[in-house]
Amino acid sequence: MFVFKQNFVEPKKMPRVSYVCSDELIAQCNKIPVLKKRASMVHELIRGYNLHKLMECVKPNLASEENLSLIHSQYYIDYLKNECTAETSIETLDSDDDNGDSDTSDVDDDQLNYGLGYDCPKIYNLWKFVRVIAGASVTAANLLLSNRKIVINWCGGWHHAQRDEAEGFCYVNDIGIAIQRLRTRFQRVLYIDLDIHHGNGVENAFAYTRRVFTVSFHQFQPGFFPGSGSVNDCGNGNGKGYCVNFPYKAHIRGELFIKYFSKTLSEIIVRYQPEACVVQCGADSIVGDPLGGTNLLPEDLAICIERILAWGLPTMFLGGGGYNFQNAARYWTYLTSVICKTKEPLDNDLPDNKYFLRYGPGYELSISRKQFDDSNTENDMETTYQIIRGNLKN
């Protein structure tokens, strides 16, 4: 009797987390006028802590026109395609230099119709830009469709872009497009928006369907952008009861935020039973943001992220706002370590990296809370929660 010796080769273990990234994606993300170099700072800090080695790094594909049309109107796509190419852009530096490569010199009526002016000035070769940015989130969605469990794309999360126009520094609704891709396999997708601003573009895209449940926690006060997202807005038509807005006032503290995040999401998870989850982690909800106004730390939001991870669903984590670039890099680096479940906590002394000098004078990972009085009371938050609960379906 022959005995065949078999060489059992231990299959190479696939990392639990996929990370969508490429030089091109970072270069394009760096072009957003108010966010110059932020994408580089985030990626370099993640690399400085060697976190990229714990993940499967995936180069994104360019989004197709068909991908864009999952959310955007043909009018908007045609405008971008015909009027915003390299040939039609005014020649400016197309690099990640700090020198201006946005083109605000010639704002015509068409541009204003499509939201391309003011806070969304035309970027050099905008047509390429939107396909790169949307392509990264489409790639993230495709990874979840091919059985990856967790995907990170910190260059995504542009939640204000509307069907027909750019809005609030967002030129393309990569989130909506990615969710549409996920819907080809997952029957119920839960979208959670943690940015300090209301996720209006994503909510509008899915307000009429029960196939996507949108939840947005955001500051909501007179004059605070974008002005929508009241607690009473809970979807329309068939989508009524499948949209939650949890507005809060300035200087919210971690304890209250975590408590009501947990209560609200526990309720939704039990009733809705989502099959996949997309989380927008805008870093402007961290204390110290020039456009924000919370008293939240990365550690507070990380507790919310851990709750989400505990559901064990296929999940996509995206970036978003965040105008204190150092804090955005600190926050997303910290979240990356939480998502990767690193054995040891990250060293609070920042590692050497290309942008190290920008983190002075402390050069630390941690961010300090401020001495703010929280304008939110437990009573207000409980009232908001009860209204939300009453509006939920089933």
Catalytic residues: 160
Cβ 319 vs Cβ 332: under 8 Å = yes
Written as six digits, the tokens of 227 are 């002005």
Task: Indicate the residue among 227 and 362 with the shorter CB distance to Zn ion.
Answer: 227
- Give dist(CA 183, CA 327) in Å, integer: 33
- Give dist(CA 161, CA 168) in Å, integer: 7
Rg, C-alpha atoms of the chain: 21
- Is residue 43 packed enough to be buried (19+ CB in 10 Å), middle (13-18) or exposed (0-12)? buried
Cβ of residue 226: shortest distance to Zn ion, in angstroms?
9
- Give dist(CA 123, CA 31) in Å, integer: 7
List the Cα angle 187/193/196 in 5-degree steps.
Answer: 170
Cβ of residue 320: shortest distance to Zn ion, in angstroms?
6
List the one residue out of 166, 139, 184, 150 whose CA is nearest residue 279.
Answer: 150
Tell me how far CA of residue 111 lies from CA of 226, 283, 311, in angstroms.
20, 28, 43
- Give dist(CA 29, CA 180) in Å, integer: 22
Task: Indicate the residue among 48 and 321 with the shorter CB distance to Zn ion.
Answer: 321
Provide the binding-site residues for Zn ion, judged by CB under 5 A. 195, 197, 282, 284, 321
Task: Indicate the residue among 293 and 314 with the shorter CB distance to Zn ion.
Answer: 293
Cβ of residue 159: shortest distance to Zn ion, in angstroms?
8
List the one residue out of 178, 124, 162 whose CA is nearest residue 314.
Answer: 178
Task: Indicate the residue among 229 and 282 with the shorter CB distance to Zn ion.
Answer: 282
Query: Shortest Cβ contact with Zn ion: which residue?
Result: 321
Task: Indicate the residue among 135 and 321 with the shorter CB distance to Zn ion.
Answer: 321
